[in-house]
A and B are shown apart, each in its own frame.
Chain A
């Protein structure tokens, strides 16, 4: 079954079906419930997933291939991690398989007993099929495998080529990528755009730069020995990079995931946005009218990884072998290629890279073969050591950056405040502070 990538989504852009990806996602919800009515939890083999869901055809594929499993996908709205964690702790009402978001994997690694070590089910044999650094993200220090990667989130730069063209800037992905090998070049370009149209900015907010900045350094805020390294040079460099964007006057200072960002994107006032492949889905929802006017290319420096989730098996559930079989089938090359067209999630299964779904043109991106860019970006992602407390300790940096952009706080004071608050949190949470 061959489809044009994003065909369903671009149809949305034309206004045939009004709604968003959410619609597609929840369509799978209603099917998942086994017709919606009778499907009570626990009768069949259940998969918990967040609102987005695996595509209907994939769910159908599992049901056809493994009819005895009575497979159901159950969409859990709200705070997914919270629900999963509490259910794991309680030890009953568990799903047979569950999604685990990339940002939560470090947390769950600390309580690895709650999940089946997939190596005991032969996961090792399939390691070669998936992107190596993503696979390792779900490997605990003592070598247990908590999950199989669903997708990866190599970052790239989305931009409105029509606006770039209009202002005489490099507009093809090749030209632009070549022109912005370093951040200074991109910021310079942003200044030109801003000069041409004073309401136009190329940075959504400083956090967006910082996000990519520290990940490019190859290390996070806590090292493998549990020592705080948030005051080291590599974080300071990422901080300075963010401040440089502020000083260049190219920062729109809009909060992410708000209607304000959506409005700016839709109006062409934010013609550049960083993001992983799934970010395309955001653009499609936020600015359907700009379909066909976007391209994607490499951003300055190495690509980093944002997001990308896993499928795992709670150890308290039953029939682990069958669950593992379902995982492998859900995440095979064919199904992951379909998932790319469904949600924009870029497969972690390298076998999907050459599929017609990935090599097809994306209408929203002006007919560009976007997967080429992301596949290339995936090769440059440097693995990071992630500690479950990174998210706690790095909070102050983001908070202080938002003070710099929103209230004009002095960057140097902000840096000092961020570091001392981060150190306080590190100490409080058992991280060594030297």
Chain B
């Protein structure tokens, strides 16, 4: 499998070389059988991976009672509209979505900025105290966020931020994962000679960051950006604790109001999950192209 991978990816840079390389290797029939098999396996895996998501959609189009039948329904039912309208009339979905978008975009932007600055410093420079500081980053990364919850809430009250979106935004602006991930990337793909050359040209730290580091980190930033956005969009525990104003809820928190102490209407619940994930998939499809291209591009430089 791997042998064909090199020519194929090389086609991106020099198509002719790739094609000739491949032609030399194997007879065409065997190759296409192999490729078919590979696609079959990939497709089967993709279906399996996608299935729960599909099933979420199926459940969202049924009434609870139909879901409790055995064997379970595998095809969409006829309650899509009813379930959709139930959710929409129960919760101010659009307002919550706007809030969530605001939170996720702000968080993503600042995480990219703050983390890439820190990561660049860690990746390419040595300075007094660096090791200790990086150890601290590692530690934050290692500790479960739940440990900070209660004191954090008390702090938010002190600041008077409870109920406001900034209480969700600000604490998540410094992500240890981003520093960790971008540092790896800068180490791997930003050549130190380039920075040194820039230094000789009289570029300071921040211009090196802006003109050398950032452009080459595009794929890594896209990756981090997408996953920060997704993480922020799906964030649940903390927003649930800190948001309490009905007009300023994020989507996940608003949707949690569908779950009462009484039995659960699965059709409606799954519909709400679907509503929450569709915008993400759209963002993802747009972004995926970016960062997938980016990965390939960056890797072949």
Asked if B188 is at the interface (CB within 8 A of a chain A CB), the reply is no
Interface status of A86 (Cβ within 8 A of chain B): yes
- Which of the segments B20-28, B107-115, B151-159 contacts the partner chain? B151-159
Q: Quick one: CB contact mask for A25-37 with B, threshold 8 Å, 1 for yes?
A: 1110110110011
* Shortest distance from the beta carbon of B158 to any chain A beta carbon, whole Å: 7
Mark each residue of chain A from 379 to 413: 1 if its CB lies under 8 Å from any CB of chain B, else 0.
Answer: 00000000000000000000000000000000000
Shortest Cβ gap from A13 to chain B (Å): 10
A87 to B242 Cα, complex, angstroms: 10
Mark each residue of chain A from 281 to 297: 1 if its CB lies under 8 Å from any CB of chain B, else 0: 11111111100000000
Q: Which of A18, A33, A74, A278 contacts B82 (CB 8 A)?
A: A18
Report which of B91, B92, B157, B247 forms a contact with A92, defined as CB distance below 8 A: B157
How near does chain A come to B234, taking the closest CB pair, in angstroms? 15
Q: Which B residues lie within 8 Å of A51 (CB)?
A: 256-261
For residue B262, which residues in chain A have a CB less than 8 angstroms away from its CB?
20-22, 52, 278, 281-282, 285
**Least Cβ–Cβ distance between A161 and chain B, in angstroms:** 20
- Across the interface, B163 reaches (CB within 8 A) one of A25, A41, A257, A262, namely A41
Is the beta-carbon distance between B154 and A262 smaller than 8 angstroms?
A: no
Per the 8 Å Cβ criterion, residues 87-108 of B in contact with A are 89-92, 95
Complex Cα–Cα for A19 and B82 (A): 8
- Asked if B144 is an interface residue, CB under 8 A from chain A, the answer is no
A86 contacts which chain B residues (CB < 8 A)?
A: 150, 153-154, 157, 241
- Residue B166 lies at the interface, judged by CB distance under 8 Å to chain A: no
Residues of chain A contacted by B154 (CB below 8 angstroms): 86, 89-90
The answer to whether B241 touches A78, judged by C-beta atoms less than 8 angstroms apart, is yes
A286 CB contact (under 8 Å) in B82, B150, B253, B263: B263
Would you call A128 an interface residue if the criterion is a C-beta within 8 Å of the partner chain's C-beta atoms?
Answer: no
| Binary contact track A76-93/B, C-beta < 8 Å → 1, others 0 | 111100110011011111
Q: Assuming the A-B contacts A20-B268, A50-B261, A87-B157, are A39 and B68 also in contact, with contact meaning beta carbons closer than 8 angstroms in the complex? A: no
Q: How far is the CB of B235 from chain A (nearest CB, A)?
A: 13
- In the complex, identify which listed stretch (B47-55, B59-67, B196-204, B287-295) lies at the interface while the others stay far away: B59-67
In the complex, the answer to whether B268 meets A77 with C-beta atoms within 8 Å is no
Are B241 and A74 closer than 8 Å at their CB atoms?
no
Chain A residues with a Cβ closer than 8 Å to the other chain, count = 56
Flag B70-86 by CB within 8 Å of A: 1 or 0 each: 10000000010011011
> Would you give the shortest CB distance from B91 to chain A, in whole angstroms?
6
For A83, what are the chain B residues with a Cβ–Cβ distance below 8 Å? 241, 244
Chain B contacts for A38, CB-based, 8 A: 247
How far is the CB of B72 from the nearest CB of chain A, in Å? 10
Residue pair B68, A92 in contact (C-beta under 8 Å): no
Cβ 8 A contact of B247, one of A15, A25, A37: A37
Give B268's nearest chain A residue, CB to CB.
A19
Q: Could you tell me the distance between the alpha carbons of A319 and B90 in the complex, rounded to whole angstroms?
A: 32
Which residues of the other chain, B, contact A15 by a CB distance below 8 angstroms? Answer: 63
Neighbour of B86 across the interface among A19, A82, A91, CB < 8 A: A19
Residues of A within 8 A of B153 (CB): 86, 90
Is B267 in contact with A282, judged by CB distance below 8 angstroms?
A: no
Contact of B260 among A22, A33, A74 (CB under 8 A): A22
Q: Is the CB of A262 within 8 A of B246?
A: no
B244 touches A90 (CB 8 A): no
Tell me the smallest distance from the CB of A207 to a CB of chain B, in Å: 17
- Residues on B with beta carbons closer than 8 Å to the beta carbon of A66: none
Is A23's CB within 8 Å of the partner chain B? yes
Is B245 in the interface zone, CB < 8 Å from A?
yes
Closest to B267 in A: A18
A93 close to B163 (CB less than 8 A):
yes
**Cβ proximity bits B260-277 to A, threshold 8 Å, 1 near / 0 not:** 111111111000000000
A93 — nearest CB in chain B belongs to which residue? B162
Q: Is the CB of A26 within 8 A of B90?
A: yes
A18, A259, A262, A288: which has the most chain B beta carbons within 10 Å? Answer: A18
Residues of A within 8 A of B256 (CB): 51, 77-78
Give, as a whole number of angstroms, the nearest-CB distance from A308 to chain B.
13
Which B residue sits closest to A23, measured CB to CB? Answer: B90
Which residue of B is nearest A101, CB measured?
B261
A48 proximity list for chain B (CB < 8 A):
244
A83–B258 alpha-carbon span in the complex (Å): 18
A52 touches B265 (CB 8 A): no
Of the candidates B63, B65, B240, B265, which one forms a contact with A77 in the assembled complex, judged by CB atoms under 8 Å apart? B240
Contact, CB under 8 Å: B247 / A36: yes
**Cβ of B64: which chain A residues have Cβ within 8 Å of it?**
262, 266, 285-286, 288
Q: Using a CB–CB distance below 8 Å, which chain B residues touch chain A?
A: 63-65, 67-68, 70, 79, 82-83, 85-86, 89-92, 95, 150, 153-154, 157-158, 160, 162-163, 240-241, 244-247, 253, 256-268
Known: A51-B260, A93-B162. 5 other contacts (CB 8 A): A26-B91, A33-B246, A82-B241, A262-B68, A286-B263
Seen from chain A, the residues whose Cβ lies within 8 Å of a Cβ on chain B are 15, 17-23, 25-27, 29-30, 32-33, 36-41, 48, 50-52, 74-79, 82-83, 86-87, 89-93, 257, 259, 262-263, 266-267, 278, 281-289
Sample (21) of A-B pairs whose CB atoms are under 8 Å apart: A19-B83, A19-B265, A26-B257, A27-B90, A39-B246, A41-B163, A48-B244, A51-B256, A74-B245, A74-B246, A77-B256, A78-B256, A87-B162, A89-B154, A90-B158, A93-B162, A93-B163, A263-B68, A267-B68, A281-B262, A282-B263
Which 5 A-B pairs give the minimum distances between C-beta atoms?
A90-B157, A285-B263, A263-B68, A33-B246, A19-B86
